[in-house]
Structure 1
Amino acid sequence: MFAVNNHIQRARLLLQQGRLRDAEKEIGFALHENPDDAEALLLLAECKVDEKQYDEAIRLLHNCIALEPDYHRNYYLLAFCHYRMNNRGEAVSYIQKAIALYPYASAYYGLYAYLMLDMRWYREALEKANEGLAIYAEDLTCLNARTQALFRLKNNEEAYETIREALAINPEDDFTHTNVGWHYLEKGKHKTSRQHFREALRINPNNARARQGYKESLKAKLLPYKWMLMFSLWLSSKSKQTRWITVIAIWASVQLLSRLSTAGGADVVAYILIGIYLLFVIFSWVGASMANMVLLFSSESKYVLTKTEKQVAAVIASLLFVAAFTALLGDYIPTIAEDNQYMAALVFLTLVLPVSRFEYLHLVRRKKLVLIYSIVLIAVGVISAVGLLAGITGMMALMTAYFIGLALYTWCFAFL
């Protein structure tokens, strides 16, 4: 028993120091002595949580519950794992159980508040954050959740006061700087947001959310991307129903205004409205990759862009160059038919759409299917464009097949 306790104490210290593998070794020694030691199993689960191995952590936590069904921390960690895995319903159920067993931990209310924020229940999030702060007034998780809830409820003055309070408690908290940075990014103040993201990364270079925010703040230098980002962040804060209504309302408004313009004899206005709408739709697809392309030529790209983002940005830059060059070929190579020249240029230009999606393959459910379809679509597009320029017969039909495939791709990507 004494040896088991020694291993557990050493493991706890190593876990606090972030030495997860060494901690797991000590826990392994403890479990070898007593496989049913609930404290050792809980520590092992905490290691798995820190390593983001949430499935394994959940399995271990259920073993802990079998041994100690009334220990509140088991349920808190289960709620945290499900929160990270976007299983909000189960996360809420477990955090409620944890609070019911032990209603004196401010961190539990902080997690509950963040779950409410994710579900767009902002008043409930504020309530839970305040409950946590009533237990411990300096809980930074609760303070940050309170700040976000207040901003969503349009209580900006109190939200900024809460930010100042959180930074006064711990000016070296990367979590607070990250949240403040995302707020300013949503408001279009990308320079201010960048300062907070930079500070967060100085404190914790491994803060992935701060790194993503810093990258977005750099890309926001591109004005169209800045507008799209502001709209996207604003829309993401709304309920699912509101998001659908907004998208449908934009489409319906464009249709109505264009038809009214056509009926009134102002065809040019209708074309302009439809053109703006199509540009918005296309830029919502390729805007991030286009911004990455611009960022690729800056000195900071090597610090913020991933390998995949750099590759996609380079391919898109190449496609845009080839499209522009192809459009001008007819002036120098009279043997190429003018229509073929512009059609081939259009194909090269539209290839930007499927290429830009390679950044997001890890988010789709059927990655292998989408990858195969993308490669085939790009190959058909390139062959049809080159064939048109070479004057090969039958390429117009192949190009038509490419555009049909592209239309299906844009419609189906979100559902695969």
Structure 2
Amino acid sequence: MNEVVRTATQRGRALLDLGRAKEAEKHIREALAAEPDSAPLLTLLAEALLEQDQHEAAEDTSRSALASDPELVPAYSVRTAALIGLKRFPEALTAVRRGLALAPEAAGLHLQEAGVLVAQELYQDALASVERATALDPANSTAATVRAAVLCQLARYDEADAAVDEALRLDPENAEAHRIRGVIALHRGGGRSAVRAHRAALRLDPTDVHSRDGLSLALKTRNPLYGWLLRFSLWLDSLPKVARIAVLVAPLVLTRVLRPAEDQLWAQVLIIVVAALALLSWTLEPLMNCVLLLGRDRNLLSRDAKLATYTFAAFLAAAVACAVYGQINGPGQLMAIAFGFGLWAMATGSTHLLEEGPKKLVRFGAVAAVVIGGMAIAAVLAGASGASGATVAVALLFLGAVVSLWVGAFSK
């Protein structure tokens, strides 16, 4: 390595350590121009690309590094991280295990393996990987934090709390450990302890999106109903998909089963309770977001959460306006339109919790609902309440809302 390459490499490493990955990339490429097949330099470049979230380029570069030197352990680590970013988890697991075959004493690789296994929801296997990392490096606060996160996923909350205590004993400034403590508290229903832990995490790392979202969630759990709903949601998420679908369909089945006994008081009470719980499950999230928007913690809500809340409020306002006008002035179909807008409020209020594909689908449907609902209102007010056009518009409003509700239910 000549002096020019050495200097460029040193500057690249220093800038990378300072978090200035773009500048680091420039110096590393200068070094690579002189030594294009250098596996360590290619690995360093892959790190710089990874820091810029260029996962595809980082994966390609790390693969080139391994082609030059198949036994370069850091290249396996970088490639694993890039594959995780690309959500190619089976390949990531293969890469990290190849690295471990060369360096079984590397605690960091065992932690990476645990991360890949967590992404695949193989929590028991992930715990075994963390235990190996801890045995190799008992003073590693990160290992204790990952162990706490895995134990939380396994619903072993007391052990998870103990692991957080250990992580914070090793490093009291470990923001992730504070956040995991908040997550554990959320799994137990939230409340003040969840708020306190997430505030501590956000104080230590003000830019962390997960801590911000966690604090937003924790603040909402100060409402006991929301805390109960959160516990129910987490329990539901832990079930197999078939069981989740069965639970979601159960209220509809129950109302049908109770139809013959609907004149009896106990059946009426049960139906009301089921309907109220279903309504709460769809509306409590956006309602609590409305409360946050009106308070000093509005900045905790993400852009998607704010958009979902504003959309919910707009549909709800339209529903109330249609219902009030319909009651006063009498066009019967306005009440049906009000009910349709109410369903759309429920469908859109939690879109920020959906994956990108379903989220876009529901949002597109909401735009269509505004147009169709406006046409239906115009037709009704113009005296065409009996016209087929108004009837079709109301039917489409209902159908779109029901479909969006089910898309949301099965996509969270």
- State the TM bucket, normalised to the shorter chain: 0.7 to 0.9
**2:312 is the alignment partner of 1:316:** yes
* 8 Å CA contact retained: 1:181, 1:193: yes
TM-score if structure 2 supplies the norm length?
0.87
Q: Distance in 2 between matches of 1:330 and 1:284?
A: 27
Q: Is 1:231 matched with 2:232?
A: yes
1-side partners of 2:169 and 2:226: how far apart?
34
Distance 1:328 1:92 in 2: 59
| Greater CA drift, 102-111 or 339-348 | 339-348
SS in 2 for 1:99: helix
Structure 2, unaligned runs of 5 or more: none
CA deviation profile, 1:112-158 (whole Å, cap 9, x unmatched): 22333343433322221111111100223321222233345554443
Query: Does the CA contact (< 8 Å) of 2:100 and 2:109 recur in 1?
Result: yes
Would the alpha carbon gap of residues 281 and 87 (structure 1) be closer, same or farther in structure 2, given more than 3 Å must change? farther
Q: 1:248 aligned to 2:246? A: yes
**371, 379, 395: which one pairs with 1:400?**
395
Aligned residue for 1:381? 373
Q: For 1:366-413, what per-residue CA distance to the aligned partner results, in whole angstroms no more than 9, with x for missing partners?
A: 94x665444223311232134324433431232112222333344456
Number of residue-to-residue matches in the alignment: 406
Deviates more, 1:369-378 or 1:138-147: 369-378
TM-score by length of 1: 0.86
- 1:258 touches 1:271 (CA, 8 Å); kept in 2? no
2:293 pairs with 1:296: yes
Contact 1:38–1:68 (CA under 8 A) maintained in structure 2: yes
Distance 1:20 1:256, change over 3 A: same
Aligned residue runs from structure 1 range 346-365, under 5 A: 346-356=339-349, 359=352, 363-364=356-357
- CA distance, structure 2, for counterparts of residue 14 and residue 122 of structure 1: 36
Contact 2:358/2:407 (CA < 8 Å) preserved in 1?
no
**Cα RMSD, aligned residues only:** 2.9
8 Å CA contact 1:344–1:386 kept in 2: the answer is: no
Moved more, 406-415 or 394-403: 406-415
- Percent identity over paired residues: 25
The residue type paired with residue 302 of structure 2 is: T
Q: CA deviation at 1:106?
A: 0.8
CA 288–36 in structure 1, closer or farther in 2 if over 3 Å, else same: farther
Residue 20 of structure 2: aligned partner: 19
**Aligned in 2, Cα 1:350/1:181: closer, same or farther, shift over 3 Å?**
same
- Alignment CA distance shift 1:323-1:49 (3 Å): same
**Aligned to 1:328, what secondary structure does the other structure show?**
helix
CA distance in 1, matches of 2:403, 2:363: 14
Q: Cα distance 1:225–1:386, how it changes in 2: closer, same or farther (>3 A)?
A: farther
Distance 1:126 1:308, change over 3 A: closer
Matches within 5 A, 1:28-107: 28-107=29-108
Structure 1 residues 265-285: Cα deviation after superposition (integer angstroms, max 9, x where no partner): 655544554555455555545
Amino acid of the residue matched to residue 68 of structure 2? Answer: L
Provide structure 1 residue ranges, at least 5 long, that are not aligned to the other structure.
Answer: none
Aligned to 1:168: 169
CA distance in 1, matches of 2:201, 2:403: 42
How far apart in 2 are the matches of 1:152 and 1:5? 46
**Shift of residue 297 of structure 1?**
0.7
